[in-house]
Amino acid sequence: MIQYKNIVLEGNIGAGKTTAASMLSEKLNGRLILESFENNPFLEFFYKDQERYAFQVELFFLAERYHQLSKNLLGDIFNEYTVFDYIFTKSAIFSGITLNGNEKDLFNNLYHIMNRFMPKPDILIYLHQPIERVIEQINKRGRTYEQDIPEEYLKEVERSYFGYFKEEMRFPIVILKTEEINNYNVETIQSYIFDILSKDWRNGLSYYPD
């Protein structure tokens, strides 16, 4: 019996969180909430000129995430489990990398107003992929606008996630160290996720395998 009802799977760009979340929700017969990113009209331009389009990209994502999650605050009487492929705090993590000055201050004010109403997960599992594998998977899925993402940007995303994880003490955060999995595939990842969900975890940061 899995005690965690609201489950978040997170990871770097291209880490496989959407695939893992979809498979997990199917196995649990749960509700699946996926981030909507392909309708962000600024995303393609952002990867070409981050400085110019960062505020528009982050503001669009902030509004979309808030709108999507606020519709699901009351849960679902038909599903015992809900699986998300993002956490609302993702907005603060990415904006902390891309924004500066007055735009960053304005964004943070909006984020903190909205974040007060966002539910916390029962557990967050972070799919930790080596940057080299992340780049391979980004290239493999073939989204044109992602092909030129700088390696340093992906490293900064990872650092920012871990900076947040070290401070968050309201719920368990488990880093699934996929780089230590010899037979790496989606089925293996799924078995590890179920093993994580079968255990009791303290609030704050933990690692699996430890």
| Residue 61 DSSP one-character state | H
Of the candidates 201, 137, 146, which has an alpha carbon nearest to the alpha carbon of residue 172? 201
The two tokens of residue 126 are 């972070």
- Tell me which residues are annotated as active site: 85
119 with 6: CB under 8 angstroms?
Answer: yes
Backbone angles phi, psi at 95, to 5 degrees: -65, -30
Interatomic CA distance for residues 84 and 163, integer angstroms: 21
